[in-house]
Structure 1
Amino acid sequence: MAAERDHGGGVDAAARRFGGMRSDWLDLSTGINPCPYPVDQIPPEAWTALPDTAAQTTLTDAARRFWSVPQTAAVLAAPGASALIARIPRLGRPGRAHIPTPTYNEHAGAFVQEGWELSETDPNARVVVHPNNPDGRYWRPADLDGAALRIVDESFCDICPDRSLIAEAARPGTIVLKSFGKFWGLAGLRLGFAIGDPALIDRLARMLGPWPVSGPALHIGRLALEDTPWATDTRARLAGDAARLDRLMQDHGKIIGGTPLFRLYEVDDAARFQDRLARQRIWIRIFPYSRRWVRLGLPGSQADWTRLETAL
């Protein structure tokens, strides 16, 4: 059975359907921080030279400190978490993969693409998204048991570092994924990390080749990981903005989950709700497996908040 891959985004398609230019639209369909980490001037050599070993090591060392990576776990920087997700199924012979649903479906798509069967029974691989997208569910270490290959996707976990399962990265057969596209709001940077079993991380590194991460990404990633005051302030702001969005939506939908980066609501008719906002050039997320769930990301500027409130 092929796994359908649906995503947030798609503003260009929405503009073709409902009108307007891309710049006219407010995209609330993703879980990307709308107030990203500030990117200042990038050294010219980051653009012109092949990324050297020192720059890669400096980045991974910063990652170890920021995420408190166990000493026995290896760290690999990659061109986005999606590049890792596509390759992880190749780490084992095709078998049965358990990916609890509903969740971000790129993992299922990648495993099916490589010949795996999706199954809850006696899995050879298990994948959990922590916190889960779209409902914000958290998992326990025990939820990883019973499979030789264990993947913890923590793309959204930087909003709640105290809930991280990074300690599990020390277990054989385990990989924890991190993303720069969500909490830091730098999806276009294409930077992600695989942290875990050194044997598996080494195989992923060989799949990616010698220069998987660009010079600018190495530079910006290191600066961001070393800027703990920005991370602390951002967590507080996101928590406040998530509560603000819940208040704004309280007369329009029931909150049923989410994280400080996105909120999940139940409405009478998800497609109709999306259509109503789209006609006002605001794009939100709905799901093929639910007729009543809508997911909204956070507005960024005060003008964006006012625009959403007016549309509602």
Structure 2
Amino acid sequence: MSALPNMGDPNGTPVVHGGDLSAVRQRFPDAPSPWLDLSTGINPMPYPVPDLPPETWSRLPTREQNDALIAAAARRYGVRDPATIVAAPGTQALIQAIPRLVPRSRVAVVGPTYEEHQVCWRRQGHDVAVVSSLDEAGDAEVVVLVNPDNPTGRLVPVEALPPRPRLLVVDEAFIDLSPSEASLAGRLPPRTVVLRSFGKTYGLAGLRLGFAVANPDLAFSLRDELGPWAVSGPALEIGRTALADNAWLDAASRRLQADRHQLDEILKDAGFTIVGGTSLFCLAEHPEASSMIDRLGRGGLHVRHFPHWPSRMRFGLPGDATAFARLRTALDTR
């Protein structure tokens, strides 16, 4: 199992994530406000939050609320047995919990990718290697694949997945807008856990809601690890409503595809090469990426850049015509 360089320090330096404007504001104190944050892969046009009964906020969540959310998730993700679905306060909570439930193992994370995977496995004492492909996972007992990948958007067909190790973890946080056959959730193989995010496609990351689809024994252990009332009452109600709203998801999918096309054209006009992405973000390359980051920062726009890929930048989608125009103006080098 050949390894790439360590992409994160689980014992010290925190992983850098999109959506944190504090450091970039300090770097560009004279930038105009409000900042336009394009550093995340979150739908900028969120699901309209319904009015909730006051007791949703004042009472502990009920089993009936949880069961209704799980039923809605099962229908949305094509899962036959709702007992295999675990609701959590965000997929990050599941990424942290799973390594605590597995005996110390040799773990291969296909990457570079979302760095919390390797950090959380290593924090629990596992032997972690970041490998560039599934073929390089070798004799790893646990294989972690983000599919589609963040930030490249690479999508591995399910038929290309390797024979099962002790555990295969497939993070499908960005798969909602892909064809349904791209997901493993509805045809879960043995020794596999699939993670699904709610907040990204529905634009409600602050709600903190995610799901694991796992074989019954692991699903039971995950529920036990997360403890009672893991998901808040408002998240249960909003998640149930949104996951059942097919019309909204269809309309959002069409709009996001059109917006992604518009984003690509703006970046190409500015000299970028599109190298990957999903319906929610674009990975682009520029020979003068560092100067482009500075140009955007001075204009009050925040994007993701990668120390291990210095020529690449990840752009989330602008939310409206004004935001698109602001990005185009900031990138204009004439």
Query: TM-score with structure 1 length normalisation?
Result: 0.95
- The structure 1 residue matched to 2:8, chosen from 3, 9, 12, is 3
Is 1:178 aligned to residue 188 of structure 2?
A: no
| Structure 1 letter corresponding to 2:44 | P
3-state SS in 2 of match to 1:263: strand
1:73 deviation in Å? 6.1
The answer as to 2:266 corresponding to 1:248 is yes
1:91 aligns with 2:110: no
SS of equivalent to 2:186: helix
Match of residue 289 from structure 1: 308
CA deviations on 1:172-199 (whole Å, 9 max, x unpaired) are 2111111112100100000000112110
256 and 177 in structure 1: CA distance in 2 versus 1, 3 angstrom threshold: same
Gaps of 5+ in 1: none
Unaligned runs of 5+ in 2: 1-5, 10-14, 130-136
**Residue by residue, what CA displacement relative to the aligned partner does 1:49-90 show, whole Å, maximum 9, x if unpaired?**
110000000000000011101338601110000000001112
Question: Partner amino acid for 1:26?
Answer: L
- Looking at structure 1, the residues matched to 90 and 66 of structure 2 have their Cα atoms a distance apart, in angstroms, of 15
Q: What's the C-alpha RMSD, in Å, of the aligned pairs? A: 1.6
- Structure 1 match to 2:155: 138
Q: Which amino acid aligns with 1:127?
A: V
Structure 2 counterpart SS, 1:250? helix
Q: Could you say if the C-alpha distance between residues 73 and 25 of structure 1 is closer, same or farther in structure 2, counting changes exceeding 3 Å?
A: same
**Residue deviations 1:134-181, cap 9 Å, x none?**
111111334242411111111111111422222342x22111111112
Write the letter of the residue equivalent to 1:129.
V
Rate the CA distance shift 1:72–1:221 in 2: closer, same or farther, 3 A.
closer
Among residues 20, 30, 33, which one is paired with 2:43 in the alignment? 33
2:245 pairs with one of 220, 227, 242: 227
Change (3 A) 1:79 1:21: farther
Instruction: State the aligned residue count.
Output: 311
Using the TM superposition, give the Cα deviation of residue 92 of structure 1 relative to its aligned residue in structure 2, in angstroms.
Answer: 1.2
- 1:22 deviates by 9.6
Matched with 2:25 is: 15
Give the aligned residue type for 1:150. L
Offset of 1:24 from its aligned partner? Answer: 1.5
1:126–1:144 Cα contact (<8 Å) kept: no
Q: How does 1:100-139 map onto structure 2 within 5 Å?
A: 100-119=110-129, 120-139=137-156
Q: Assess if the C-alpha contact under 8 Å between 1:66 and 1:225 holds in 2.
A: yes
| 1:12 Cα offset (Å) | 1.5
* Superposition TM-score, scaled by structure 2 size: 0.89
Q: Any conservation in 2 of the 1:11–1:22 contact (CA below 8 Å)?
A: no
Query: Is the 2:41–2:316 Cα contact (8 Å) retained in structure 1?
Result: yes
